[in-house]
Structure 1
Amino acid sequence: MFKQKLLVKIELAVMAIMLLGTSLYASKAFGKAEPSPQKLVDEVWQILDKNYVDVSFNHQDWKAIRQQYLGRSYSSNQQAYGAIQEMVAKLGDRYTEFFDPQEFKALNNDLSGNLSGVGLELAQNEKTKALTVVAPIAGTPAFKAGILPDDVIVQINGQITQGMKIEDAVKRILGPVGTKVVLTIQRGSQSQTFNLTRANIAIYPVTYNTRTTPVGKIGYIRLPEFTETAAAEMHRAIEALEQQQVQGYVLDLRSDPGGLLDASLQIASMWLKQGAIVSLVNRDQVKDSYNASGHPLTNKPLVILVDKGSASASEILSGALQDDHRARLVGTRTFGKGLVQAVEPLEDGSGLKLTIAKYYTPKGRDINHVGIEPDITVELTEAQQKALLQKQTLGTLADPQYASAVADLSKLIQSGADHVSLKSGK
């Protein structure tokens, strides 16, 4: 099965701004001679040749490209890295990227939930190519400063970002903890400057508490990213809230840019009794379907909060629960990323992230570039977003999207929807 070849990861272009930390992958070169630069170039070409989702390779003569890059003379791995980046860029896929050893360690940190930096999720606007904020990570310097989704980073420390590759932008934002980085942001017609201090960023995948409403206690769960520990944290949260006998749940996926596929599958099974979660289709049109495990932790009513910063794994989870009628979605249309990436470590400690498949919701919806429309749309103005961030009142009744979710959940509780929402109870 193609899903077993590589570690599958669902995520946005470049993850939160990161520094070094413990790598999830041991270098294949440990105890062995370093691969030659030419061998490294060919290794990347071979991985793409066997696994990349587009068999036309962006209408390139892929075999001729191999000969072109293997015909060069390389005196160092650094020269090979530059050539590999050129080669990968020919695919025209912003989600397929090469990482040198330092960058790959940083990527692994994100997978494990250990980050340091300013706490931004970045993407490149496909139409304008502008460096765009998908979402600030809650509690980080960028979040506290008031940077918002859809803000465009036009300068980094005075350097104009127009035409800058996203990996180059990330390198400029990287730096030791305690040092400064100055970001100039374009928000609509206004330009703002943010002086940010880089910091250690601990991502706690799940936070939760109980809230009192006129229809009884409800559980509020916030999931900022699908990291390695997210599923275990979610399991503990639901069990704890069940012991407190909540009547229903609000799951907040706003500004959650995604993460690991396995985490999204495990979490979906905590809410779904049966049925499909997602299907992946590779370049050979081979379809792999992933289904719920059949052991949900609760059947109580569920409302999910989403917005334009909810992407990838967030969309897999919310799309599955919406298609199954297990949950209702409140907020705004999601980001719209229906592609699957895999991460492959290379022999010298560098790594390759490549698009290997498209994914579809249980009802066969292709959400790529489209997103998922919520059942109840509640827009936030820029002023509202800024006020909620500054006052730290997201997820309270001062938050219009949360307030709408609670109102909808209350109706579901009153109507006894907990027994209707699962297929087995219809």
Structure 2
Amino acid sequence: MRKNLFLRLFLLIALSISLYSCIHDDMSSAADPVSKEYTNKSLWKEDEKYIRNVRKVFDQYADKNYFSGKYGNVLWDYALTMGTFDESFLEVPISRNGKINSVLTAERRGDRVFFKIRNEKSSNDFFDVLVSKDRSQLKGNIISGNGDGISSKTTCYTVTVTWTWTSETTGEVIDSYVFTKTRCTSTDPVLTEPTTPSDCLEEDCTGGGTGGGGYPYTETQTDPCEKMKEQNSNQAFKDKVAEMDKKDVFDKDEETGFAAAYGTHPFEPLANTANDNLKFPPGNKYFGYIHTHLDSKEGVIKIFSPADVFTFLTGCVRNAETNGTMADAYGMVITSQGNYILKYSGDGNYGIGTNTKDNWQSWYEDEYVKIMNEDGTFSQNKVEKLFTRFLVEKVKIDGLELYKSDKTTGNTERLEYNATNMAVQTTTCP
């Protein structure tokens, strides 16, 4: 028993050291303005890309104190895009004193988005049920189509929520209520009205600082799945991954790594430092990296370290923002237990303080020690679960995404932490 205890203490020390033994650079930026991530709580599949983009516009231009004082709190999780997936229209309820008293609409016209406040009893009642009633008591459906007497150039969407009230003791249905919303959109071009929104995000109603009304709308970065599909077809990238994804590379005494660069030389070696780190070459042309985590050392986590995440965000993303597009940026770790990729699909509106990496490191060490096996190994499913939780609970940067790459095909799937059932949710890239 004493021998096993000594072994475990030794492995804990090795773990602490190994967590630092990864990629790093010396870049940092301002403190991070963290905002709550959007979570779909409607009864239907929504145009989440449009919802996230509109929310970014709102967060940038809205005078939050003025808006909440005049209207209430915007419940983005319940935003409804009415079955459309063309980034054109949404409605989102506004809550005041636990009641839905108005609805914020956002309509996109070209490169502008126009906000309006609606105060209609039917809309308020619809969203009040959607927000306030127990999910188990709700059923919903959405129908797309053109009804009688409606122009063929118009598409209509009807959304229905049925609330069923049952007895807690007998389960008998006591009563039920049906709430519907219908919205019709013309397929003809929309005329841009030279007016400001009927209600304002700001107290002075500047409409985003322009005379034409509305607020500037910027689309989200290119889908990471599309970028990785393009990357997987690049022979230089495939050759580099194949060169590193080998047992003899995992058994080395030092990590192997390469920096991906803009220009004529796509990959340059990362230098090994005295403290077992890998360091980028000087310059800002590097938008990505590929590196290994070893099998030859005890306690090495077979996924990204906090230093890897820090370098990706402060180096790769920022360099790509300057010299290309942030969708180019990636970080990749190749291990015997799986190959993982970091991507960023946000708008770059984040900052990382000087103590951030140390705070991440402390959390990371404390939590990974808890899942270490007695022999110093880790179950990879637990490693993935904890790392995805780390991104959600500690890093908290909207748009930072983790993918796992199949060692044979190179096909990728996104790994996300589901806080509701405390499990890893996977989504295969098409």
TM-score range, shorter chain: under 0.3
TM, length-normalised to structure 1: 0.21
Larger Rg: 2
TM-score where L is the length of structure 2:
0.21
